[in-house]
């Protein structure tokens, strides 16, 4: 007697198959939960448009880079919820989340995204403050007399 396992598409709350692909991105203390689905190119972050949430052009380019590299700009709708960190950290987190979701949507995107360095999480974090010191590396001022 052999058992066969079948993989089902993830189901949404209504019980219907969920056509979306998800990815989580982190950068410093920012965490982004990204959902992409085939569509017309809508891009919303925390319920707001990209240019409202990220007013700086450099942050907008960082978010759109995975879609540009894979030539998927305008083919997927992107919905992201991001919290923690600063604006630049959030942009990096959303970028990584989009890249990971794109790989789940289409595995052929992985080599392109990997070559562009978009699937690698940036490991740099703030170093903790040490006791007996002013900060992580800074000491209290030393006085001889």
**pLDDT for 56-108, tens place per residue?**
999 999 999 999 999 999 999 999 999 999 999 999 999 999 999 999 999 99
12-25: pLDDT as tens digits: 666 677 788 999 99
- Taking CA atoms, 50 is separated from 84, 88, 132, in Å, by 17, 13, 44
Model's pTM, two decimal places? 0.86
Three-class DSSP category at 77: strand
Alpha helices for 106-142 (secondary structure H)? 110-115
Instruction: Determine, yes or no, domain membership for 28.
Output: yes
Q: Return the sign of the alpha-carbon dihedral for residues 44, 105, 66, 76.
A: negative
Instruction: Determine, yes or no, domain membership for 139.
Output: no
Instruction: Determine, yes or no, domain membership for 11.
Output: no
Instruction: Determine, yes or no, domain membership for 121.
Output: no
% of the chain at pLDDT higher than 70: 90
Instruction: Determine, yes or no, domain membership for 110.
Output: yes
Instruction: Determine, yes or no, domain membership for 26.
Output: yes
Domain range for residue 58? 21-115
Instruction: Determine, yes or no, domain membership for 104.
Output: yes
Whichever domain contains 106, its CATH number is 3.30.230.10
> What was the pLDDT predicted at 22?
95
Domains in the chain: how many in total?
A: 1
Instruction: Determine, yes or no, domain membership for 4.
Output: no
| Residue 122 confidence (pLDDT) above 70 | yes
- Token output for 35: 């959902």
């Amino acid at each position: 007697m052999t058992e066969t396992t079948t993989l089902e598409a993830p189901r949404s709350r209504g019980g219907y198959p969920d056509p979306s692909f998800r990815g989580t991105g982190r950068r410093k203390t920012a965490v982004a939960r990204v959902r992409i689905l085939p569509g017309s190119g809508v891009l919303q972050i925390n319920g707001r448009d990209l240019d409202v949430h990220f007013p700086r052009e450099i942050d907008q380019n960082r978010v759109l880079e995975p879609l540009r590299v894979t030539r998927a700009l305008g083919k997927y709708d992107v919905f992201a919820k991001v919290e923690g960190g600063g604006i630049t950290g959030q942009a990096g987190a959303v970028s990584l989340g989009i890249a990971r979701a794109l790989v789940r949507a289409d595995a052929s995107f992985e080599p392109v995204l990997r070559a562009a360095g978009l699937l690698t999480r940036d490991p740099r974090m703030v170093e903790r403050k040490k006791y007996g010191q002013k900060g992580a590396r800074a000491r209290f001022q030393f006085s001889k007399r």
